Structure 1
């Protein structure tokens, strides 16, 4: 894996190797005089990105981020997040430590962020006065709706829906898979308000030829090239018509924040978060499986059959990820805690894509025995489910608590999962450590 294939932010690039960063960002390697890259293609690239000429370009040192670009890394939009781990600054990608996900409804400040492009101006300004949502393609009638029309012409719905990045757990794969090294915190269960996706499609009239949707957003490509799109994914018509798939305009009772897709986004719960397009501007119905950016090749796909770690997989041997696998998370206690009692209350959440979690078990003796947890029903389909358990340790010492969920189809979390080239769908059991000093 080469550096120019990694998804990295400006600060990470320039901290590691400033001159290499100049080459990656501006397309020309720095010369020995440390100003040589600001000639020809390099100067042109920087000028284009800044949108103006650079009169004193000869004085600008190599390996320094232009201030205008440094301020545009979107870190300011991240300031409202509480305790998240920033994995990348451009685009912003951040996960939530497990112990901060203890709430039944994930606060906006603690909901993970997974972006592919640059947050658009409409979201930065939070002004949707000129925004329209277009629904076209294989429809009987093209629709164009303002935000006010979306809210007034269609019945609102509010649902608690889990949203998980397809790469959640990628950091545990060996050999490593490229991409953001998520551990367990690319998951959230916010309360979303919007209109049913199905209601919009019914209003437009779905032609019999339509088999797939295509989501188009307003986020910009990281290169700054307006002709390029960072991501455009979709779902089968049947998933769009599910009554729990919505076009959301509010998150936890407030307008969608800039980082979460203002003014509207799709929420296709139980499927990879990438199907829940942010900054939505167009829904296109297609008579083929959508082939937009991040829909083809190995993007959000896994091999059709098990492969050995490190195996190269041909594009034709991948299949699109749909329902996410059964999974659980321990949110209380925080890992690596020392407790002064032999009895411990344990709490967490479990979810299962399109399915429902039917049983939750925990172990504190490395899987020799299991204790069934008290599993709560979800408040609505596609919400995660809370579970509670209590364990009594026999002696003082080091213990691990393992969590294992089983869904209504009999699928159970494994101790380890099959490797895949992109590091998707890691639903291995969550484990935390505790030291009992009592």
Structure 2
């Protein structure tokens, strides 16, 4: 008898653990509810299909169909509890200085992301104190016709309020999959969210100040401080071209899901710019500059938030002048139900659902596969509630056999561009990974 076909007595809990894939690789600093910082070792073991079969006694009928270089998505790991103020304990903390945490895929199943489930991506230290009553936003710059200041109350009184559901995704979401590895937070799939935002249009405020004809870019500055504590350094100061800034859906927002924005997501005021890396949506917003040139703030220069202008071989050094600023995010999808590691009875239909988004474009199709990409079936796809909101999809699968399976999701945008089934082109900072999301299922 082949060793991988031997029957081994295991509990359902062992199978569930072997299939789960919501954690992250490496050592992760944890922020506890008592504000103590401690480091807990996290482990993630990748199980080969043969090893998994030996553990469960299950047939892995489709193992030969995995594309070269890919491994089974069956994973085993330990999870460490973490609590960040205003956030669910289930978020996975990747760093505590600055605080960064991602959301397991199954916690993003809501059509509108709950505030407590939105990921945290900080480049600096949030302001130590926030005085909402005296918070002032300044708009100025070489290409501003004048300089103006607005209190939060004045913004609310002077301009029309708008609410949009806007998808924000970190440019490095999926970085953990790059090989050779890229430095930075090792995001898996959870640095994305699509809550409802309320505020005033960025365009309305910029037009109230006045935009000169030579305007090229806008840039932002927040009240977070540099990780070094040096008051002369900005933690981050990025921006977008003026044409992008003037789109209707971009907001200067004070509310998320009809409540104050969580402290870790920028309370009391932030930019919300959909379709582009979330780093363009500055938090703790206190100043916007209208520039006559490409903004040159912190983390605008290469290699930050830039990719090679032309494809490069994995691991190669890329000169700064050969790096281009990331604009729109690529087509992507996420399976949010069920949680990876489902044990499913063969006789029943397997219900699966999730979200898809496409930067500045619209998602036109979502397909799912249960045979490692051999065949695909169309999923039901909803229209976005507004531009730059993610779109919900759902489908059902009837598995042909018992054994280990993976469900893959692949979205296609309005230009006909689809997600790759494996990691897209390598880049030094590990940006823009939009490979198909995979869900592990044990059919019994």
TM range, smaller chain: 0.7 to 0.9
Asked which structure has the greater RCO (Cα within 8 Å, sep 6+), the reply is 2
Instruction: State the Cα RMSD in Å.
Output: 2.0
Secondary structure of 1:78's aligned partner: coil
**CA distance change for structure 1 residues 14 and 312 in 2, over 3 Å: closer, same or farther?**
farther
Unaligned runs of 5+ in 1: 1-6, 17-74
Say whether 1:233 aligns with 2:238: yes
Paired residue for 1:207? 212
Q: Bigger shift: 254-263 or 318-327?
A: 254-263
Say whether 1:319 aligns with 2:319: no
Unaligned runs of 5+ in 2: 1-26, 41-81
Alignment of 1:31-430 (within 5 A): 77-78=84-85, 80-123=87-130, 127-137=131-141, 138-342=143-347, 343-416=349-422, 417-430=424-437
Q: Bigger shift: 253-262 or 192-201?
A: 253-262
Confirm or deny: 8 A CA contact 1:231 1:292 kept in the other structure. yes
Separation in 1 of the partners of 2:240 and 2:129? 25
Q: Bigger shift: 76-85 or 106-115?
A: 76-85
Separation in 1 of the partners of 2:407 and 2:316? 33
Q: Report deviation, 1:430.
A: 0.4
The TM-score normalised by the length of structure 2 is 0.81
After superposition, give the CA deviation of every residue in 1:283-327 in whole Å (9 maximum; x if it has no partner). Answer: 001111011110001100000111111000000000000100000
Confirm or deny: 8 A CA contact 1:260 1:278 kept in the other structure. yes
Q: Report deviation, 1:143.
A: 1.3
Separation in 2 of the partners of 1:100 and 1:178? 26
Confirm or deny: 8 A CA contact 1:9 1:91 kept in the other structure. no
Q: Report deviation, 1:80.
A: 3.1
Normalized per residue, the structure richer in helix is: 1
The runs of at least 4 consecutive aligned structure 1 residues that moved more than 4 Å come to: 7-16
Separation in 2 of the partners of 1:10 and 1:337? 28
Q: Bigger shift: 7-16 or 348-357?
A: 7-16
Separation in 2 of the partners of 1:269 and 1:285? 19
Q: Report deviation, 1:121.
A: 2.4
Q: Report deviation, 1:10.
A: 9.3
The TM-score normalised by the length of structure 1 is 0.82
